[in-house]
Amino acid sequence: MSSMVVTANGNDSKKFKGEDKMDGAPSRVLHIRKLPGEVTETEVIALGLPFGKVTNILMLKGKNQAFLELATEEAAITMVNYYSAVTPHLRNQPIYIQYSNHKELKTDNTLNQRAQAVLQAVTAVQTANTPLSGTTVSESAVTPAQSPVLRIIIDNMYYPVTLDVLHQIFSKFGAVLKIITFTKNNQFQALLQYGDPVNAQQAKLALDGQNIYNACCTLRIDFSKLVNLNVKYNNDKSRDYTRPDLPSGDGQPALDPAIAAAFAKETSLLAVPGALSPLAIPNAAAAAAAAAAGRVGMPGVSAGGNTVLLVSNLNEEMVTPQSLFTLFGVYGDVQRVKILYNKKDSALIQMADGNQSQLAMNHLNGQKMYGKIIRVTLSKHQTVQLPREGLDDQGLTKDFGNSPLHRFKKPGSKNFQNIFPPSATLHLSNIPPSVAEEDLRTLFANTGGTVKAFKFFQRDHKMALLQMATVEEAIQALIDLHNYNLGENHHLRVSFSKSTI
C-alpha cells in the first residue's frame, strides 16, 4: 500500500488495518489519530512544521484521523521520536502520531480541495510570501505575516527565561536579528525581530501556546505593529545580532520611547492553549539560575528527572564509549557510558543531571551518526553500573566522571550560552597563531567529509567557523577532532554553531 485516493465524502477508500500498530517501519507519511472533531487542517500542518517541510495532508474528518506527509523520512523520524517522549495536544486533547504503512500520499486534489488549499497557503508562506492565484483559503488557514517582529509574553514563569533561551528556541525558524526583553505589568515580555516575515509566521504558528519548560513558562505570541527594532545595547536584556559592536550599557537599557508607545497600543494576547504542550526545551543556564533562585521546588516544575539515556540503532562496528562521550558531551557532562554487551547497537549514557539528559535527547534524537539514524530516549535505569572488579567487559563501559574534557564544570561558563542543535557549521576555538586556514581545511577534510566554507573571526583568529557539506559530516568531524592537539599546548575546541558562513 503505497498510495491512497480520497473519496468524495472525505473518507479513504481503503481500510487501514495496519495503522493501529505503534511500532512500524519509518515512513515520511505519518498517521495521526484521536483528533478533536473541530480541528483544522492548519493545526495539523503546524504539528509538522518545526521538523521540516510538509508536502501533503489528508484529513479523515469522519474518523478523527489525518495523514501528514513530510518532505523527508528523516524529518518524520525526528517528529515521531520527539512526540514519543512528549505527548502532543490539539485543543487540549492528547493525540497520537505514528508511522503510516504508506510511503507517500497520492490524494485527489479535486476531492480534497480544502486541505490542499491550506497546504498551498503554508507552502507559499514558507517559500515566497506571495498570494496564491486562483486559490481561495478559509479564514482558519495561514495568511502571510505583515511584520517580521513578534511580541512575546511569558505566562506561568516559574523558571527564569533569558534572552539566550529565546534566541535558541526561535532560531529554529530562521535568523533572529534582534531581541529586546523587559518587564511590563509584572510580566516578562519580549520583542523579537526576524529577517523575514515568513519566519515570524512559522514561529508563531508552531510556538504560540507552548511551554518552554514542562508545565510552565508558556509562550503567548502575536505579531507586533512594529517592523523594525531599535536596539541600543548588547547585554542580557537586549541584543542586535547584526551589530556586535554595540556597547553593553550599564544595566538594563531603557526601552526606546517609540517602541514603548507602539507596544502599549497593541491589543492584549488571548491566553488560549495552543497546539503542542509541553515544548520542554531545557537550558542548563536557566536551570542553574532557577535552582539559585530556589524555584526548582515549585509545583509542576521538575528540574531533575532521569539522568540516563538509552541510545539505540548505533553503528556497532564504529561506535565507542569515547565517541558517545564526545558527541553527548556537547549537551552536558557525560558521567558514564555503557555499550550493551548482548546488543551492541545500543548504549546507556549517564548525564550529570536530568536537564542535560533532556537537552541531549531533544537535540540528538533522529540525528545521523556513522551512517545510521540514532534513537535517543530516557532509560528506565537510574544509573549506569560499572562492571564488577576483575570482570573484563571488553572496554564497553567507561567512567568519565573525572574527565578534564567536561564542557560545563565551571559555574557560569559561557558554554552554557552556546548550546545549539547539530548543524553543518562548526565553531572552532583555541586555535594557535601558527595554524592557517589551509591546515584546518585539510584536517577536517581528513575526517571523510567535504569542507564547504571557512572563516576566521575578524578580531580573534583563535576562533573560526567551518562548514561541512552535511550535518552528519559535521557530527563526524566534531567526534574526531574535538580536543585534537594542534601543538603549542593548544587543544582544538569544536562545537555546533547557530551561524552560517
Count: domains in the chain: 4
Q: Give strand pairing partners of 96.
A: 33
Please spell the DSSP secondary structure of 328-386, one letter per residue: HTTSS-EEEEEE-TT-TT-EEEEESSHHHHHHHHHHHTT-EETTEE-EEEE-S-SSPPP
Residue 436 has a CB neighbour count (10 Å cut-off) of 12
CB 34 within 8 A of CB 93: yes
350 and 428 fall within a common domain: no
71: helix, strand or coil: coil
**Which of 58, 4, 7 minimizes the C-alpha distance to 30?**
58
57 and 97 fall within a common domain: yes
Domain membership flag for residue 300 = no
Domain membership flag for residue 126 = no
41 and 90 fall within a common domain: yes
19: helix, strand or coil: helix
The pLDDT tens digits for 398-448 are 999 999 999 988 766 677 777 889 999 999 999 999 999 999 999 999 999
95 and 63 fall within a common domain: yes
40 and 109 fall within a common domain: yes
Examine residue 144 and say whether the peptide bond preceding it is cis (omega within 30 degrees of 0).
no
- Residue 9 and residue 68: Cα distance in Å, rounded? 19
User: Which residues have C-beta within 8 Å of that of residue 96, sequence separation ≥ 6?
Assistant: 32, 33, 34
- Residue 410 and residue 414: Cα distance in Å, rounded? 9
Domain membership flag for residue 313 = yes
Parallel/antiparallel/unpaired status of strands 368-369 and 372-373: antiparallel
97 and 162 fall within a common domain: no
115 and 32 fall within a common domain: yes
The CATH number of the domain where 92 resides is what?
3.30.70.330
Domain membership flag for residue 264 = no
**Which of 448, 451, 407 minimizes the C-alpha distance to 425?**
451
| Long-range contacts of 380-385, Cβ-Cβ distance < 8 Å, separation of 24 or more | 381/308, 381/348, 382/306, 382/307, 382/308, 383/307, 383/308, 383/336, 383/350, 384/308, 384/335, 384/336, 384/337, 384/338, 384/348, 384/349, 384/350, 385/338
- Phi, psi for 69 (deg, rounded to 5): -110, 125
480: helix, strand or coil: helix
* Residue written as grid cell 542580557: 236
**Which of 432, 438, 437, 443 minimizes the C-alpha distance to 490?**
432
- Phi, psi for 59 (deg, rounded to 5): -95, 130
- Per-run averaged pLDDT (10 residues), the chain, 501 residues: 38 41 76 89 82 86 91 88 77 87 76 68 51 33 62 83 88 89 87 87 85 79 90 91 83 43 35 31 40 32 66 95 97 95 94 87 92 91 87 88 90 74 94 94 95 91 94 96 92 92 84
Domain residues for 380?
Answer: 306-397
Q: Which pLDDT belongs to residue 408?
A: 87
108 and 177 fall within a common domain: no
Q: Which pLDDT belongs to residue 305?
A: 61
Domain membership flag for residue 276 = no
The pLDDT tens digits for 202-221 are 888 888 888 887 667 889 99
- Residue 20 and residue 59: Cα distance in Å, rounded? 17
Output the furthest CA–CA distance in the chain (Å, rounded): 76
CB 162 within 8 A of CB 289: yes
Domain membership flag for residue 443 = yes
CA distances from 255 to 170, 249, 416 (A): 21, 13, 27
103 and 153 fall within a common domain: no
55 and 95 fall within a common domain: yes
384 and 448 fall within a common domain: no
CA distances from 391 to 253, 281, 321, 322, 338 (A): 61, 39, 17, 20, 14
392 and 425 fall within a common domain: no
Q: Sign of the C-alpha dihedral, residues 365, 366, 367, 368?
A: positive
Domain membership flag for residue 107 = yes
CB 77 within 8 A of CB 1: no
Please spell the DSSP secondary structure of 78-97, one letter per residue: HHHHHHHHS--EETTEE-EE
Domain membership flag for residue 22 = no
User: Which residues have C-beta within 8 Å of that of residue 89, sequence separation ≥ 6?
Assistant: 95, 273, 275, 276, 277
CA distances from 407 to 178, 332, 402, 410 (A): 28, 7, 12, 8
Q: Which pLDDT belongs to residue 282?
A: 38
The C-alpha cell that represents 398 in the structure block: 567507561
